[in-house]
């Protein structure tokens, strides 16, 4: 009985030593990080070695998978304006793009293609407020409504990005992947036009509100 017990203990020790040696000798190759703590700043991501399954925690960075299953495409301190009347905002540090498009849609519904929707802005942090402003005037606005109704990752705080936010999306298109076409922003240009940009050949574009464009929702935290 003692011999059998000794063999079991020996096997366990040797197995443990094998895994320790494997971990020490492994030339670690880590996959994409996944945000595992979004409530702290900096947020924490965990990445796993593809060879030995060793996990490492580090600060969240561009390209990581976000809390809602999207891709982190911007890291930096900014003020997030949360609704149509918000003038003070809250502090935020990360922008996450949905992993898929929400469709190819017009910016405005047919009755509002020439309506001046005042108060939208271009800066990072203004997309959520812009989305609320648009829907307060045109409650069926296809682009903004598609983002508001998106619930990817179980989250309900998605919005149509502002113009500066879509420029950051385009800057990080290789990290996000699956991006093509003309992306709508939530920033109005004039009564008849809103700001947009091409993914593969970025330019300063103003597109007719009645035209279709690609919708990619984002969220902030």
89-130 pLDDT, tens digit per residue, is 999 999 999 999 999 999 999 999 999 999 999 999 999 999
Residue 187: inside a domain, yes or no?
yes
Q: How far is Cα 198 from Cα 167, in angstroms, rounded to an integer?
A: 9
Q: Does residue 24 fall inside a structural domain? A: no
Residue 216 confidence class, pLDDT cut points 50, 70, 90? very high
Q: What is the mean pLDDT of residues 59-71?
A: 98
pLDDT in tens, 14-29: 344 444 445 566 877 7
Cis amide leading into 42 (omega within 30): yes
Band of pLDDT at residue 211, cut at 50, 70 and 90: very high
Confidence of residue 31 (pLDDT cuts 50, 70, 90): confident
pLDDT, the chain, mean: 90
- Would you say residue 2 has pLDDT above 50? no
- Whether 55 is covered by a domain: the verdict is no
- 140 domain residue, yes or no: yes
- Is residue 96 domain-resident? yes
d(CA 154, CA 158) in angstroms, rounded, equals 10
**Contacts with 79 (C-beta within 8 Å, 6 or more apart), sequence order:** 89, 90, 91, 92, 125
What was the pLDDT predicted at 15?
46
97 is a domain residue: yes
Residue at 122 is within a domain: yes
Closest by CA position to 116, among listed 209, 15, 182, 213:
209
Range 177-184, long-range pairs (CB < 8 A, 24+ positions) = 177/71, 178/99, 178/100, 178/101, 179/214, 179/216, 180/214, 181/104, 181/213, 181/214, 182/207, 182/213, 182/214, 183/213, 183/214, 183/215, 183/216, 184/105, 184/107, 184/143, 184/160, 184/213, 184/214, 184/215
* Mean pLDDT, residues 68-93: 98
Question: Which residues, listed in sequence order, are joined to residue 44 by a DSSP beta bridge?
Answer: 37, 59
Count of domains forming the chain: 1
Mean pLDDT of 71-96: 98
**Tokens encoding 175:** 């990290």
| Structural domain harbouring 88 | 68-220
| Beta carbons within 8 Å of 110's beta carbon, 6+ residues apart | 210
Nearest CA among 208, 150, 202 for reference residue 181: 202
Q: Which residue has the higher pLDDT, 64 or 14?
A: 64
* 63: helix, strand or coil: coil
In a domain, 93, yes or no: yes
Please give the Cα distance from 110 to 108 (Å, whole number).
Answer: 6
User: Alpha-carbon distance 15 to 13, whole Å?
Assistant: 5
State what percent of residues in the chain have pLDDT above 70: 89
On the question of pLDDT at 83 being above 80, the answer is yes
Among 28-32, 78-82, 133-137, 175-179, the range scoring the smallest mean pLDDT is: 28-32
If you average pLDDT over residues 185-207, what whole number do you get? 95
The pLDDT score that the predictor gives to residue 30 is: 78
């Amino acid at each position: 009985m003692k011999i059998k017990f000794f063999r079991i203990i020996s096997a366990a020790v040797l197995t443990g030593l094998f895994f320790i040696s494997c971990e020490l000798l492994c030339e670690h190759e880590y996959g994409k990080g996944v945000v595992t703590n979004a409530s702290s700043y900096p947020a924490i991501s965990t990445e796993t070695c593809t060879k030995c399954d060793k996990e490492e925690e580090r600060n969240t960075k561009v390209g990581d998978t976000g809390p809602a299953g999207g891709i982190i495409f911007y890291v930096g301190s900014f003020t997030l304006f949360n609704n149509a009347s918000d003038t003070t905002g809250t502090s935020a540090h990360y922008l996450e793009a949905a992993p898929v498009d929400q469709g190819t849609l017009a910016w405005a519904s047919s009755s509002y293609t020439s309506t001046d929707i005042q108060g939208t802005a271009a800066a990072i942090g203004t997309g959520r407020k812009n989305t609320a402003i648009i829907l307060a005037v045109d409650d069926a606005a296809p682009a903004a409504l598609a983002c508001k109704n998106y619930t990817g990752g179980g989250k309900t705080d998605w919005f149509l990005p502002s113009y500066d936010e879509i420029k950051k999306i385009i800057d990080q298109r290789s990290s996000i992947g699956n991006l093509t076409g003309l992306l709508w922003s939530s920033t109005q240009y004039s009564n008849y036009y809103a700001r947009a940009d091409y993914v593969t050949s970025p330019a300063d574009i103003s597109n007719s509100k009645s035209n279709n464009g690609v919708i990619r929702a984002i969220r902030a935290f």
